[in-house]
Amino acid sequence: MHPLARMLGALLCAVPLLAQSEPAPIDYAAERAAIGRFQDADQRLQDVGWQLARGNAGICLRTVPSVGLQLQDMASYGVPAIARRALGLTGDFAVQTAARGSPAALSGAFTRNREIVRLERFDPNLWPAGKAMDWQRLVTAHDHIDAMLAEHGGITVGFADGSAARLQPVEVCATRFELMGAGDKAVADGNRVVIGIEFPAFAYDEPVFAGVVAHELAHNVLGHDAWLDANGRSRKHVRRTEREADRLMPWLLANAGYDPAAARTFMTQWGSKHDAGLLMVRKHDGWDERAEFIAAELPLIASLMAREGRADWAVHFRREIDPAGGLARLRKR
């Protein structure tokens, strides 16, 4: 199932779908609060994801132009009419998040839940949608924004109040960050990083939380999914890719302006409590070993930051898989 479907299934699920003789009253304030909690966590994820993807854009092999804008579509809720009323919308599309420091955020126009009626020439509200839990239309809207940015170097977004904002993109590493409304998993599939809202690190300090986002982003920028597809997902292979993702965490953090040592803090803080959980599952080393592998990267990162102002992992990171070809493929120049 697409994570958005799972996310939205978790919200608004207690609401009766069919009218009864005496329908239960709907608590719109509670619905709005539930959506707000999800949006708070999503904002945190998008802020950190943006900082990492933007800070490493000069090194990532695959980059895309982006404005850091995420929309929401009422059609993806279990009962769109209730979500619409809870958020005070007439139509279905509105701002979900504008990532901190992104062109969307810097414009000042993209406040949460602000209603949107135009993406360049199209009104996404007119695109057909299913009656409920339709996540595909939102994906289409985001794909449309990305296509406009890639092909036309910008996009004009129109609001329900008649005003509009023109956005011009900047380059970021090509990964989308998505929050899942249930579960405590963190996964990367090559194009996306998906993190469950119950992942414990949401409560950590930002640079430490950024550690887990960096771990998942590392899988994407190092091409692990494709490599495992090509070479097989044996336990040995998975363990090597996991170790690479751990070791790259502090590099990605450093280039994003975070303290690279926060990666080790993450592994210690999270691993000492949850070591039977998700990132481990016997395909990993123990959390204390993992913290040591991370720490071992710190001196090289510090010297590169001092000398070059960035930690160019495409050049200096020691691969554990496919050492010759892997590095060559990562080089941009």
For the CB of residue 117, give the shortest distance to Zn ion in the complex, in Å: 40
The site string for Zn ion over 229-248 (x = CB under 5 A, - otherwise) reads -------------x--x---
For the CB of residue 301, give the shortest distance to Zn ion in the complex, in Å: 20
Which position's Cβ is nearest Zn ion?
245
Q: Which long-range contacts (CB under 8 A, 24 or more apart) does 202-208 make?
A: 202/41, 202/44, 204/266, 204/269, 204/270, 205/262, 206/44, 206/47, 206/48, 206/258, 207/253, 207/258, 207/259, 207/262, 207/265, 208/262, 208/265, 208/266, 208/269
For the CB of residue 82, give the shortest distance to Zn ion in the complex, in Å: 37
Q: CA–CA separation, 239 vs 280, rounded Å? A: 10
The site string for Zn ion over 245-264 (x = CB under 5 A, - otherwise) reads x-------------------
C-alpha separations of 42 from 47, 112, 114, 147, 161 in Å: 8, 11, 16, 23, 25
For the CB of residue 41, give the shortest distance to Zn ion in the complex, in Å: 20
Binding to Zn ion, residues 203-232 (CB under 5 A): none
Q: Which is nearer to Zn ion, 171 or 289 (CB)?
A: 289
The site string for Zn ion over 34-73 (x = CB under 5 A, - otherwise) reads ----------------------------------------
For the CB of residue 194, give the shortest distance to Zn ion in the complex, in Å: 12
Q: Which is nearer to Zn ion, 44 or 284 (CB)?
A: 284
The site string for Zn ion over 159-188 (x = CB under 5 A, - otherwise) reads ------------------------------
For the CB of residue 276, give the shortest distance to Zn ion in the complex, in Å: 16
Q: Which is nearer to Zn ion, 60 or 186 (CB)?
A: 186
CB 212 within 8 A of CB 201: yes
C-alpha separations of 164 from 95, 110, 117, 154, 205 in Å: 13, 10, 10, 13, 36
Q: Which is nearer to Zn ion, 178 or 242 (CB)?
A: 242
For the CB of residue 252, give the shortest distance to Zn ion in the complex, in Å: 13
Q: Which is nearer to Zn ion, 44 or 290 (CB)?
A: 290
Q: CA–CA separation, 153 vs 205, rounded Å? A: 35
Alpha helices in the chain (DSSP H): 3-10, 28-55, 80-87, 103-107, 136-152, 206-221, 224-231, 235-255, 262-274, 287-308, 313-316, 323-330
User: What is the binding site for Zn ion (CB under 5 A)?
Assistant: 242, 245
